Structures are given as structure tokens and as C-alpha cells.
Amino acid sequence: MTKRALVLGGGGVAGIAWETGVLAGLAAGGVDCLAADKILGTSAGATVAAQITSGLPMEELFRRQADPVLQNTELRSGVSVGSLVVLFEGMYRRESDLATMRKEAGTLALAAETVAEPVRHGVIASRLPRHEWPANAEIELVAVDTATGEHQVFHRGSGVGLVDAVAASCAVPGVWPPVTIGATRYMDGGVRSGVNADLVAGYERVLILAPMDDVQLAGQIDLLEESGRVELVIPDEESAAAMGADPLDPAVRTPSAEAGYRQGLALAGRLSVFWS
């Protein structure tokens, strides 16, 4: 039997809405992405991974993103995405070593003034229809240790609660507080890579949804193609326009979900052959 992996990358609340829309559109077109043997989520993708394996129908998950009446309360970060991009680009220019850069990001995450950790935890909890790891699906969520810069992949057997794991994967440095799990504080898995697709190396079919650019993704796809086939879905022109310049802005959820749905529906015919 062909081993299949679904990889969901990071991209803020816009990315959550777009990925949910794409998956709902694919489902409406006959492509069951939940049949994946593994679902790997990073940041926004961690939220989506937990949502789509909660047992709620895909149509309902889509409505929760597209209908403002059904949307949970999201905090506004108060952080300029443009300034954040400049900050991280500066880190990349100063540090040729990625391990050092990740540690620097951890220092930033720990020093930043943000909302209190319990407040952010409550927002993450409100996003998830269920707070238990799914029993009938294998999901893995990526976060990064603020002290060492090393990544951690959380799963059902990790002994870590699902809400904590999703919150850790979504803890953007300088925007949201690091998440305390045991004696360790974790930050966004996107610090390692926005997609982390290389973590599913060995699967024969890999479907990647990447809401944002990731400079490491091309090399990761090369690695994956050594053992299987890969399909990459990025926002098309309509979806990119709907998501706008600030992926953390809750106002873009409805247009991002709707554009993602249309994109997923349009891709269903081609991807059904690949996925099956």
C-alpha cells in the first residue's frame, strides 16, 4: 500500500483559513486528504492538523473559517509583520549558521513583551474542536526549543497535551509568548522551516500545502523526491490577494478560506490521480 503524507505549513490565521479552504475544496472534489498515513503540521498547519482530525466534518470546519459569526475570538498581535520580516532577514544576513540563528530567535522570543502565556493558550484552545489527540489519525506537530534551537516533533505518544503542542508550534517569536512544557519553553516550528517537509522523508506520496514562502522548501522537496512523488500547493493569484500583506490579521480569514476553497476545488481533478 502506498504511504501518503500530508504536510501543512505555517502562515498565521490567513494560512489556517486558506489551508482549511483548500482541503474542503479538495474534499468536495473527491480528494480525501484525511486518508494520509501521516499529517505533519507546523504553526498554522499544526492548528489545521488538529482541527481536521477532530471528527468535525470538513464542511463545518470550512464554515468556521468562512462565516464571521462562527469564528472564534482571535487576538490582534499589535506587531508589524513588516518589521518582523526585517528583523528575521537581519538574523539571516548576520548568521550563516542556521543553528545559531535559531538560538538568536529563541533569545528574542524569551525577551519579547507579549500577552500572557495563559491568555494565548486560551485562544489556541478555542480554535480546537477537541483537546485530545486523535485516536484514528497520526499527526505530528513541530516546535523549536528556545534555548537550544533544536526542533521537537510532538505526537500522541509524547506525553504532551494537544493544546500545548499546537500552542508551542504556533508561538511566533516576538509576537506570541513561548509555551512552557515541563522545564522547556518552545517557540514556533517555523523557526526551523516554514514547512518542515523533510521530516516526512520516505513517504511515497507527499502533498504539501505551503501558505508562505520557505527558502528551504526546494531542497526539502528534492529530498522527498528521492523516495516518492511530491505535489506542492501554494496560494494562487486570487488566494494570495485574499490573504493580503498581514497573515496575522483576523479580518482576512473569510476571504482566504473562500479563495482557498475555490483553489482546492479547481485542483481536485489533478490531485485525485496523484493521491490515489
Number of domains in the chain: 1
Is residue 229 in some structural domain?
yes
Specify the pLDDT at position 96.
64
Asked if residue 83 is part of any domain, the answer here is no
Taking alpha carbons only, the member of 196, 265, 202, 263 closest to residue 229 is: 202
Would residue 252 count as lying in a domain?
A: yes
> CATH no. for residue 163?
3.40.1090.10
Q: What is the pLDDT of residue 209?
A: 98
| Residue range 66-73: mean pLDDT, rounded | 79
What is the pLDDT at residue 93?
Answer: 60
198 labelled catalytic: no
pLDDT above 70 (res 91): no
Among 43, 54, 169, 256, the active-site one is 43
pLDDT, one tens digit per residue, over 8-49 is 999 999 999 999 999 999 999 999 999 999 999 999 999 999
Arithmetic mean of pLDDT, 178-196: 96
* % of the chain residues with pLDDT over 90: 80
- For the record, the C-alpha cell of 67 comes out as 462565516
Q: Report the mean per-residue pLDDT for the chain.
A: 92
**Is 213 among the catalytic positions?**
no
**pLDDT for the residue 88:** 67
| Cα–Cα distance measured from residue 188 to residue 123, given in angstroms and rounded to the nearest whole number | 16
Residue 96 belongs to a domain: no
Residue 94 lies in a domain: no
Span 127-174, pLDDT tens digits: 999 999 999 999 999 999 999 999 999 999 999 999 999 999 999 999
Confidence tier at 69 by pLDDT (50, 70, 90): confident
Domain housing 199: 4-76+113-275
Terminal CA-to-CA distance of the chain, rounded, Å?
11
**What string of DSSP letters covers 249-263?**
-GGGHHHHHHHHHHH
Q: What is the mean pLDDT of residues 102-111?
A: 92
- Write down the catalytic residue from 54, 145, 164, 188: 188
Cβ-based burial of 26 (10 A; exposed 0-12, middle 13-18, buried ≥19): buried
Tell the residue number behind the cell numbers 491568555, with chain if given: 119
Query: Residue 40 in 3-state DSSP?
Result: strand
Q: What pLDDT was estimated at residue 70?
A: 74
pLDDT of residue 71: 73
Is 148 among the domain residues? yes
